[in-house]
Structure 1
């Protein structure tokens, strides 16, 4: 057994590509070894800006011999078939064996592959790995680059170290030959470094000021940045992404703290942090009060003789130039009001079929106002009990106790009209990540109400799992209106998600709307809201010459079910982490009278899931399915509990005037009649017990559902478990007596209807 070392050295590899490159190197190496039948132990992959390194432990010196068989055509087959089989398996006719298969002589090719030296396998594998390596972006270089056959690599490949044990694996890739020699730090070490084997690779490079383990470098940066900040009496603003990026930019990381001018702190702190992070890869710090400090931490790639003073000064000057730009943008943008900036939205196309961003803002403003005026969003909603399944505590400032509905509607409309205005500001043009946030700052700077400024700032939220969910009424109205408009508008023009494709992020918009609805306990009927939002889109197209044809094509019942159904599908995803079963969501949302009331229906789903985990729930489900199967077999249809015969009057199974009168009376009184009333026979004990149980449980469940006491509704259904079990145990449904048969089918239909007051048990698995 021996350990294998492979180092691929090149010019600087972009930090953002290194994690993917490590995975790609391991994947391709395992592919080559698996294809050759080479077993191995642990595989370790490291990266620095200038190299990818792989160490595979416990490789054998030779591969095992392999014998494979291939079945060919029968003896007597045409020569063409036999010759083709031989060519395919690289054998001659003389090498074929003849065996009997099901009484017929058949050719077989036996291919014996002898063991090979692993050195030879590796010598073939290394060029294959390099040629097949997939980079997000790659290049050709040198004189050979004029040919499309030349090597492509992320940056010019300059060296290959390939050692099995202490032996060099000799290979050559487009003029680069393998060996045992590598290079150390670009500035701290000169000359070649000869590697003896895999074990001394990291040790020798460390002596040359190269830490090859990317995770070790990340730890040094993380801990070092926190330390230098603490030594200055500051706390580091943690940023793991920046830690990883700096680890990918350095081979010998040294965190250094510097200071910038305090007057730059007049600029919003997020702008300073983003400038430092995105443009310069610097960390920022906070003081003891949690306020952004005039300090930054950069990561040097050398151990400077002066302790890094010149490095810090150079980085300070570069950062100051960037912050000067940010301050200029901040000052220029505030010379206009947000309303004036919003005029520029007329020049930005939202979508060719949906008009400009200004058109979208107009739709959102009217929808946000309607959400308030229709009492979906109210001034006191912040005090409503939050539904379970809500996200994190929301952002935004609650409305004051004295806010009226009209005032709230005015603020929601104002915030909606200004929420996209910062898209045309200089600051957001430079830093698109600050959209919304800068709008909030500009709104506050011009003296707009805090609730309006907060709504502008937070109207994009929530944008992903774990993000804050707004709870302030103005913010909720604007955020929900924005997401509903985006979703409904694209559904109107039939630009809907398909498979894994969702170019307009409609799934994210739906999930964000669901989080808002659940967190704020909003009682909202999605089909009605869909109609309101779609109506705004239709009105903006009334100027079209072909409006009637266009309206007919895009408006219809399908639209008003497609959007709510899409929400239900997203709700299943959103509730997956909460352990809610998909089939129970289908059972409730597919039957409930308020099919689109997410809050109420989800509470019903949760109660149903608890019920289905009990013995009563499972037994009731079994009884329901048995009853439903009987009714289906007998052609008893729908919620009217009527047998289907194809006759004009669906109340009878046979054309019998007397039976028709009996069943009609029974159906008219089915929910309240005492045992035996309107029956032409004396019911059996179990039949009477089920009638009595339904007389009690049916109204109880109906009342409990209406009052949203879903646990009580489940308890009412649980009382039906024993009667339905005994009914099936002792009563013959399909009795020869037509009156009994019809009445008992009607009784099963009553049972089904009682259960359907809670959910469609037919959609529940199990």
Structure 2
């Protein structure tokens, strides 16, 4: 068995493309091996800024000889059919065999294929891999680039190392011939590096100041950056994305620590971190109090003779210029009240069918106030403390935090009227920072900068916090807002987006969700459940359509509302589900990780009228616990048997009455239903879902005995009808808790 080495050397490969390129290289190589019937014992891939490498372990010296059989036409088939088969097989008529297939003489071709040297197959595979490589962006270069047929690569391809064992795999791609020579570090090594085989590849390049293993470079950066921060009495703010990016920019990484003017710390810490990270690829540090320190760690690509002093000095100058720009944006934005900034939103189109961002803000403000006035979002009984996402010790991979400006004072909770006023105020200002200079430079800071500006301009702390956090929760790991003002604005913003895009028919389809509606629905669900918000989705969405339809004449408004009701709340004639069903589908996704069965959510939701997400989920949890018991499993089996009988018999005959002389098992089931039905109904009404399941459990033994002792299809039509009616009653009693027909098992 022999190892194979392939290195494709080029000008700088963007760091963001390197991991995907390694995966693509392996995928293409494995596909070429499979064509030849080969499989490597193992494959490793490496990427640096200047090279993409694959090493395949334990390949055979040659492929095995193969014998292939092809079934042809019947022996008495027309000559044209036989000749066509001969052309396909590449044989003559006398080379065919005749075999009996189901009593008919049939022609067969037996083709012997000799084994081929693996090196020859690799020589054919390399050009195919290079030309088929799926770079996200690629280029042509040189004189050949005048033709669209010329080679495309991410950056100009400069060399190919291809070694099978210690022998060169001879091939050529666009005038670049393979060999065993590559280049070392651009500055630390002059001349070529000669590779003997795959075994000495990594060490030969290490001697030339190139560390080919991206994981090793990442570990070096991670460890040394943390060490430098620690030596300075600081803590490195961990950022794995930045580690990977710096590793993708360097072949010989050397982290260095520098400082910036502490006067810049007056700028919000998130701005400093983004300026350092996005523009310069620097790590930042926190002091012992968890606050941003005036220190950064950059990653050089060389070991400088002066220990990196000049490199640090240059980077400090560049960062100072960037931070000066950031401070200019911050100071300039602060001079303009958010109310004035918000006026500019009327010039920004939100969607061609939904008006401007100012139109959206108006809708969100009305919805936020309505959510508060209806008591859907209620004042917190505890003093307001700034909501979710406030300052503190920064978390790994997140912006450095610090206590938000003007934290709210201790005091009594808000009244419902105060809550509504503050929610509307926050909603009318929540998008104003979109037109600020800072957010224009760093879109990632939308909301956050609005919160800072609102606090600095004297807005109520609850308003500032709501502006800052109203986009939350954005992802699965994001904080869920808990302050009522923030919750109201966050829900209103996302509900408006969902309702409006559903209203114009822009629903997610398949894997496409250009307006992130699935994420918005998941965010609403997480906020509702985390804050125990009780409201009917159906009723609330229906009422909210009035807000969307406002601003029209009475006739237009009613027509628009009727249209929205049909789109949002009902099953449409096309079969598409409305928005309420969309929420149910997202709830199944959201609860999957918590181990909640999707069929049980369907079973509760399908009954209709159960669209209070908090109550629905409590009901599902009780149902799941019940279905995990023997009583639950047996009741489900009995239910399905009853449902199948009713379906087969076409339901309950019209005019069915009760059996005047019921069999003992029949009478026992009637008595059990008489006891269980009111208990289950009362328990559901009082949201004691565990008790409702216990009431259903009492039906298990009677229904089992009924099916054992009673013949439903009695010869007497009246008795038969009465027993079918009893089964229908049992089914309906179960349906008071959940639609068991939707439960799997």
Task: Give 1:357-436 correspondences, 5 Å limit.
Answer: 357-380=357-380, 394-395=388-389, 401-436=412-447
* Cα distance between partner residues in 2 of 1:328 and 1:558: 46
**CA offsets, 1:337-367, max 9 Å, x none?**
1111000100010111100010001111111
- Partner residue of 1:507? 518
Residue 73 of structure 2 aligns to a residue in which SS? strand
Match of 2:593 among 577, 591, 606: 577
Equivalent residues of 1:46, 1:212 under 8 A apart: yes
* Cα distance between partner residues in 1 of 2:39 and 2:637: 53
CA change 1:330–1:256 in 2 (3 A) is same
CA change 1:551–1:564 in 2 (3 A) is closer
- Partner residue of 2:280? 280
- Partner residue of 2:60? 60
* Cα distance between partner residues in 2 of 1:381 and 1:721: 45
**CA offsets, 1:407-426, max 9 Å, x none?**
00000000011100000000
1:748 matched to 2:737? no
**CA offsets, 1:59-111, max 9 Å, x none?**
11111011111111112323322222222222233332222222222222222
* Cα distance between partner residues in 2 of 1:414 and 1:88: 77
- Partner residue of 1:730? 709
- Partner residue of 1:390? none
CA change 1:607–1:554 in 2 (3 A) is closer
- Partner residue of 2:394? none
Moved more, 263-272 or 66-75: 66-75
Equivalent residues of 2:503, 2:567 under 8 A apart: no
**CA offsets, 1:519-549, max 9 Å, x none?**
01111211122223332222245599x8887
- Partner residue of 2:632? 617
* Cα distance between partner residues in 2 of 1:717 and 1:553: 41
- Partner residue of 1:556? 566
- Partner residue of 1:599? 614
Specify every segment of 5 or more residues in structure 2 that has no aligned partner in the other structure, as ranges: 391-406, 572-577
* Cα distance between partner residues in 2 of 1:78 and 1:687: 74
1:633 matched to 2:644? no
- Partner residue of 2:400? none
Task: Give 1:513-524 correspondences, 5 Å limit.
Answer: 513-524=524-535
Q: CA deviation at 1:400?
A: 5.2
Q: CA deviation at 1:580?
A: 1.1
Count of aligned pairs? 719
* Cα distance between partner residues in 2 of 1:3 and 1:739: 83
CA change 1:522–1:163 in 2 (3 A) is same
Equivalent residues of 2:126, 2:171 under 8 A apart: yes
Moved more, 306-315 or 535-544: 535-544
* Cα distance between partner residues in 1 of 2:2 and 2:146: 40
* Cα distance between partner residues in 2 of 1:694 and 1:547: 49
- Partner residue of 1:568? 584
CA change 1:731–1:38 in 2 (3 A) is closer
* Cα distance between partner residues in 1 of 2:166 and 2:715: 92
Q: CA deviation at 1:762?
A: 1.3
Equivalent residues of 1:382, 1:473 under 8 A apart: no
CA change 1:597–1:444 in 2 (3 A) is same
Equivalent residues of 1:491, 1:559 under 8 A apart: no
* Cα distance between partner residues in 1 of 2:87 and 2:466: 73
CA RMSD of aligned residues (A): 1.9
Task: Give 1:431-510 correspondences, 5 Å limit.
Answer: 431-510=442-521
Q: CA deviation at 1:131?
A: 0.8
CA change 1:541–1:444 in 2 (3 A) is same
Task: Give 1:203-282 correspondences, 5 Å limit.
Answer: 203-282=203-282
Q: CA deviation at 1:579?
A: 1.1
**CA offsets, 1:532-576, max 9 Å, x none?**
3332222245599x8887666555276445010000000110011
Equivalent residues of 2:24, 2:133 under 8 A apart: yes
CA change 1:225–1:719 in 2 (3 A) is same
Q: CA deviation at 1:582?
A: 1.3
Equivalent residues of 2:4, 2:163 under 8 A apart: yes
Task: Give 1:631-670 correspondences, 5 Å limit.
Answer: 631-636=646-651, 643-645=652-654, 652-653=655-656, 663=657
Residue 494 of structure 2 aligns to a residue in which SS? helix
CA change 1:746–1:550 in 2 (3 A) is closer
- Partner residue of 2:298? 298
Residue 556 of structure 1 aligns to a residue in which SS? helix
**CA offsets, 1:183-206, max 9 Å, x none?**
110000001111111111111111
TM-score normalised to structure 1 length: 0.91
Equivalent residues of 1:7, 1:54 under 8 A apart: yes
